[in-house]
Amino acid sequence: MPDDQNNDERSGYLQRNIVRHQGDSATPDQDWVAEEFPVALVYNGISHAVMMATPRDLEEFAIGFTLTEGIVDSAADIYDLEVLMHADSAEIQLSIAQPALLKLKDQRRTLAGRTGCGVCGIESIELLDLKPAPISPARRVQPTAAVIERAARELMPHQTLMHKTGGVHAAAWCSADGAVLKVFEDVGRHNGLDKLIGHLARQRVALDDGFVFLSSRASYELVRKTARMNIPMLATISAPTTLAISIAREAGMTLVSFCRRNGFVEYTAN
Task: Tell me which residues are annotated as active site.
Answer: 117
Rounded distance, CA 174 to CA 154, Å? Answer: 10
Going by C-alpha positions, the residue among 53, 11, 36 that lies closest to residue 161 is 11
Name every residue whose Cβ is closer than 8 Å to that of residue 208 and which is 6 or more positions away in sequence.
137, 139, 230, 231, 232
Q: Measured in whole angstroms, how far is the alpha carbon of residue 2 from the centre of its chain?
A: 32
Rounded distance, CA 181 to CA 197, Å? Answer: 13
Name every residue whose Cβ is closer than 8 Å to that of residue 125 and which is 6 or more positions away in sequence.
none
Instruction: State yes or no: cis peptide before 137, omega within 30 of 0.
Output: yes
81, 93 contact by CB (below 8 A): yes
- Amino acid identity at 112: A
CB neighbour class for 133 (10 Å; exposed up to 12, middle 13-18, buried from 19): exposed
165, 18 contact by CB (below 8 A): no
- Amino acid identity at 18: I
List of E strands, 23-168: 25-34, 37-43, 46-53, 78-85, 90-96, 111-113
Parallel, antiparallel, or unpaired: how do β-strands 210-214 and 233-236 relate?
parallel
